């Protein structure tokens, strides 16, 4: 099941973040408290989704909408973190979370979705390729069609 994250999920998300940080060698935050200060506003804004199996949170995605100052001068939804715990892999949680992010980008009239975290990981590449993401600079990008 995939659902919006809530403040009550912060402890479970923190445990996942620690695992993500170690696997991805992510050094942006020095400790869980600083990461918590980063993620709480995103939870409040509705920009975090969690994936669960057997009522246990074992995956999450966090994004933010940003103005692209590059070529297109349009809105881009940037996926900042997407992580599935090894126990949850193979259950389509990653693709479900990615699909939710793409849906959010369309609802917010973004012109593209950019995955900016851990893009060299073969598992990440295998996850995003079926959706049509392509490498563009330091991100994997999916251009969205205007409907």
Per-residue pLDDT of the chain (147 residues; tens, 9 = 90+): 999 999 999 999 999 999 988 888 888 888 888 888 989 999 999 999 999 988 899 999 999 987 665 555 578 999 999 999 998 888 899 999 999 999 999 998 899 999 987 777 888 888 999 999 999 888 899 999 765
Reported pTM: 0.88
The sheet carrying 139-143 orders its strands as 2-4, 48-53, 56-67, 75-84, 112-115, 139-143, 134-136
Between CA 12 and CA 2 the distance in angstroms is 15
Helix axes 32-44, 10-24, angle to 10 degrees: 120
Q: Name the superfamily (CATH) of residues 2-143.
A: Gcn5-related N-acetyltransferase (GNAT) (3.40.630.30)
Average pLDDT, the chain: 88
């Amino acid at each position: 099941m995939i659902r919006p994250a809530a403040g009550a999920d912060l402890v479970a998300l923190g445990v996942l973040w620690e695992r993500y940080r170690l696997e991805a060698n992510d050094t942006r935050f020095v400790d869980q408290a600083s990461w918590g200060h980063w993620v709480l506003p995103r939870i409040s804004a509705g920009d975090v989704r969690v994936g669960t199996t057997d009522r246990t949170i074992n995956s999450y995605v966090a994004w933010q909408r940003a103005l692209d100052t590059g070529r297109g001068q349009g809105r881009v939804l940037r996926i900042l973190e997407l992580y599935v715990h090894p126990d949850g892999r193979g259950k389509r949680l990653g693709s479900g979370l990615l699909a939710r992010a793409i849906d959010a980008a369309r609802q917010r009239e973004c012109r593209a979705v950019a995955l900016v975290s851990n893009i060299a990981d073969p598992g990440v590449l295998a996850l995003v390729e079926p959706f049509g993401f392509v490498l563009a600079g330091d991100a994997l990008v999916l251009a969205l069609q205007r409907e």
